[in-house]
Amino acid sequence: MRDKGEYLFTSESVSEGHPDKVADRISDTVLDTFLAADPYARVACETLVTTNRIVLAGEVRGPDTITPDLLIHNARMAVKDIGYEQDGFHWQNAHVECHLHAQSAHIAQGVDAAGNKDEGAGDQGIMFGYATRETPELMPAPLYYAHGILRRIKELRSIGDRRVAGLLPDAKSQVTLRYVDGKPVGCTSVVVSTQHEEHLEQAEIKAMLRPLLTELLPAGWNVPDEEFYVNPTGKFVIGGPDGDCGLTGRKIIVDTYGGAAPHGGGAFSGKDPTKVDRSAAYAARYVAKNVVAAGLSDKCTIQVSYAIGVAKPLSVYFDLHGTGKDVDEGKLAKVIDGLVNLSPRGIREHLHLNRPIYGITSAYGHFGRTPDLEKGTFTWEKTDLVDELKRAFNR
């Protein structure tokens, strides 16, 4: 995203009831089931959802107590929690198939620690982390507000609030902000498409959602009525997996930074922490957030890269986007290397990733969330490196 001039930038979010997010949730439920039984289980689970059908596939290594019947049951419970009890997609009536099989021995021998060999990366790839001062959570503002709209609808739906009566699980949002010299100064348009019961009309839904928009956007940012687009097609009754097939890992930009920062291409959900697609992306966000939180820069992008079976990152790259506060990026890389071990084992141990903490990550973004020290969730959002970073740069 540019730091000079005036421009518009847009990000989107999708709700937990979006077909792709249903698939993500089920894949992460499978992962949590394995990690609850064995913290060192290996899981790479993909899920497909369509009209009253759920298909699990992929590779696993874990205890025999994790049976296909247990995984099918837990998949149903995930769908029930999302709220699907519709004719075309129902947690109880959907046909569920489990095609998970044993992990490849050739992948396992590259990843497993043995003798003098440390645990290697589960695959090759590049991962990015990003942080910006645009919001208190150090996330890009368009995505922050797009997530916020859908999360608020979900919160109200879950308690049966009459303000959203008749709205159903599947929804999407899109927020466009105006930037001047790299800083958001106002909102120019908002799009919300939400599944609803047959009796609701487009104008009614728009009237329901307008107060939520006023509540969530900063003062003076509310958009005029002609720039608030609600269910632009007019009707959205058939939704969820009945309306559109869903697959794990198809909303990677929603999951990360809304397009404001690069993405390496790998998806997160359904993957255990030996898969650097997930764990290294979490670690990169952790480092970037701490750099910005320490006041070393207003923006920070980090890239790390790995080779399958190799523990040490092949490269670590920092870009402070010209916002560094007298910080040399080369020195910063050395300081971080002394604070955080970016090997797969180092990441999972530092961030305590070998726990069943992933189901909650599958909707409303993996980043910008509040860490829960008791539950051990979103540990990559902690800012516990700030003091050491400040000392290293005499702040």
Q: Please, are residues 184 and 139 in contact by the beta-carbon 8 Å criterion? A: no
Integer Cα distance of 275 and 43 in angstroms: 9
Per the annotation, does 171 bind a ligand? yes
Q: Please, are residues 132 and 292 in contact by the beta-carbon 8 Å criterion? A: yes
Per the annotation, does 46 bind a ligand? yes
Integer Cα distance of 111 and 132 in angstroms: 34
Integer Cα distance of 283 and 344 in angstroms: 10
Per the annotation, does 16 bind a ligand? no
Residues in the chain: 395
Per the annotation, does 275 bind a ligand? yes
Q: Are strands 228-230 and 183-196 parallel, antiparallel or unpaired?
A: parallel
Integer Cα distance of 32 and 34 in angstroms: 5
Per the annotation, does 250 bind a ligand? yes
Integer Cα distance of 321 and 197 in angstroms: 47
Per the annotation, does 242 bind a ligand? no
Per the annotation, does 36 bind a ligand? no
Per the annotation, does 12 bind a ligand? no
Per the annotation, does 378 bind a ligand? no
Per the annotation, does 267 bind a ligand? yes
H or E segment to which residue 74 belongs: helix 68-82
Q: How many CB atoms lie within 10 A of CB 324?
A: 19
Which tokens sit at 332? 């910063």
Per the annotation, does 20 bind a ligand? yes
H or E segment to which residue 142 belongs: helix 141-158
The three-state secondary structure class of 303 is strand
Q: Please give the full DSSP string across 180-226, using - where no structure is assigned.
A: ETTEEEEEEEEEEEEEE-TT--HHHHHHHHHHHHHHHSPTT-PPPGG
Per the annotation, does 215 bind a ligand? no
Integer Cα distance of 120 and 261 in angstroms: 27
Integer Cα distance of 101 and 296 in angstroms: 47
Integer Cα distance of 312 and 327 in angstroms: 25
Integer Cα distance of 272 and 353 in angstroms: 8
Instruction: Summarize the annotated binding site for K(+) as residue ranges.
Output: 46
Instruction: Summarize the annotated binding site as residue ranges.
Output: 18, 20, 46, 59, 103, 170-172, 235-236, 244, 250-251, 267, 271, 275
Instruction: Summarize the annotated binding site for Mg(2+) as residue ranges.
Output: 20
Instruction: Summarize the annotated binding site for L-methionine as residue ranges.
Output: 59, 103, 244, 275
Instruction: Summarize the annotated binding site for ATP as residue ranges.
Output: 18, 170-172, 235-236, 244, 250-251, 267, 271
